[in-house]
């Protein structure tokens, strides 16, 4: 049992999950999942910083030039490609110690299946359902019931 989340979808996922109204175990597991995503996001921000440094103009000492809190980028297209590549990379959350959290997150997503979402919330909800394979589980259950 594992879940993969695109690095570019971490913040949206955190924001979406944070706004859900949950209690007890579901709230605790959501908090655990958000904390895990937050740790991963900090690493992504560090990687992003390194990419910015790599693509920035350098001073005489080889240090990146920063003006008004912004790196002076020498090749915007190359930077955009590298950032897109970073955002498309996946983080993997495997079962083991996270097994119960993953199961509970699936239950949470199923619980909110009848809710209406708009815009980014709709996109993130659908994305999380895909990543947690909510629809596949329902199809498997239906197939098992029909086989009996």
Q: Where are the domains of the chain?
A: 2-142
- DSSP tag of 114: T
Contact between 20 and 44 (Cβ < 8 Å): no
pLDDT tens digits for range 9-30: 999 999 998 888 888 999 899 8
Q: Which of 84, 103, 117, 123 is nearest to 32 (CA)?
A: 103
Model pLDDT, residue 102: 87
Token pair of 80 as six digits: 């955009």
pLDDT for 128 beyond 70:
yes
DSSP state of 132: T
| Whole-number Cα distances in Å, 124 to 6, 33, 132, 146 | 11, 15, 12, 32
Contact 37, 5 (CB under 8 A): yes
> Which structure tokens are listed for 118?
């708009």
Element (H, E) at 85: helix 76-88
pTM as predicted: 0.77
pLDDT recorded at residue 85: 92
Is 1's pLDDT higher than 80? no
């Amino acid at each position: 049992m594992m879940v993969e989340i695109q690095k570019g979808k971490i913040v949206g996922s955190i924001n979406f999950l944070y706004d859900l109204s949950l209690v007890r175990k579901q709230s605790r597991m959501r908090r655990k999942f958000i904390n895990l995503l937050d740790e991963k996001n900090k690493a992504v921000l560090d990687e992003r910083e390194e990419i910015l440094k790599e693509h920035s103009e350098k001073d005489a000492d080889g240090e990146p030039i920063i003006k008004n809190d912004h790196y002076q980028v020498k090749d915007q297209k190359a930077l955009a490609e590298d950032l897109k590549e970073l955002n498309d990379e996946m983080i993997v959350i495997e079962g083991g110690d996270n097994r119960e959290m993953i199961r509970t997150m699936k239950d949470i997503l199923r619980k909110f299946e009848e809710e209406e979402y708009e815009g980014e919330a709709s996109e993130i909800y659908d994305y999380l359902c895909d990543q947690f394979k909510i629809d596949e589980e329902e199809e498997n259950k239906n197939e098992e019931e029909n086989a009996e």
